[in-house]
Structures are given as structure tokens and as C-alpha cells.
Amino acid sequence: MREWVGPITSSQSAGNHWLLQNNKAILVTCSSDILDINESSNGNQLNLWTDYNQEELIIAKALEAEALSLDDLVKIIKKDVVSLSSTLGLMTLKGWIVESQGMFRLIKK
């Protein structure tokens, strides 16, 4: 995944900053950084999904490709609106997703 880290004052940089702060991403400035990471990881990929519980993981996977409305998520995940809304609210408070104009978008992967 290639992402650009922007100014700390930009809300669009929140997800990238969260990843860096929580050791879920590594800042790379040149090709030798990538080689160093590859050597130190012994071929193992970083697992960025470890903080999610089972329901949050299902929601995150659904939102990974595109932003979805609550109605779309209810149909895809097959959960009741109240339960799903509660989990979406908690994920929003944790800074993992954002809601804008009725669409939920994943920030944290």
C-alpha cells in the first residue's frame, strides 16, 4: 500500500498518522529502507488487522474497496441496524472509519 503522509493539521492524513503512531506502517524515504525492512521481516508481512474484533473485521473488509451506506452494510453483513450502528459508532470513535453524507469509509486498515 502506498500512502502519502500530509500535514498534521489535515483530517485527510489522520489514517496515515494513526498507522505510523501505532507501528502499523513504516515510513520509507528511499529504496534502501525497503530492503532493510524486507531483511528484518524474514519474509513475513505485517498484519494490520489485529486490532479488530470479529464484527469490526467484517465491516472493515466490506469497506476496504469502497464507501458504503448503512443500508448497504446491513445487506452485506446481515446484521440488524441497531447492532451494526453501534459497532459503526464505536469504530468511528476509535478513528477507524468516517461517515460523510451517509457513506462510511475505512481509514484504518
Based on the domain organization, do 42 and 58 belong to the same domain?
Answer: no
Based on the domain organization, do 63 and 90 belong to the same domain?
Answer: yes
The b-or-e profile of 20-59 (16+ CB within 10 A means b, else e) is: eeeebbeeeeeeeeeeeeeeeeeeeeeeeeeebeebbebb
Comparing CA positions, the residue from 103, 19, 1 lying closest to residue 62 is 103
* 84, 70 contact by CB (below 8 A): yes
- The whole-number pLDDT of residue 4 equals 58
Tell me how far apart the terminal alpha carbons of the chain are, to the nearest angstrom: 10
- Residue 48: pLDDT band with limits 50, 70, 90: low
Per-residue pLDDT tens digits for 63-75 = 998 999 999 999 9
- The whole-number pLDDT of residue 106 equals 92
Range of the domain at 89: 54-106
* 59, 91 contact by CB (below 8 A): yes
Based on the domain organization, do 43 and 68 belong to the same domain?
Answer: no
**Considering its fold, how many domains does the chain have in total?**
2
Q: What is the CATH number of the domain that holds 99?
A: 1.10.10
Based on the domain organization, do 7 and 42 belong to the same domain?
Answer: yes
Q: pTM for the full model?
A: 0.54
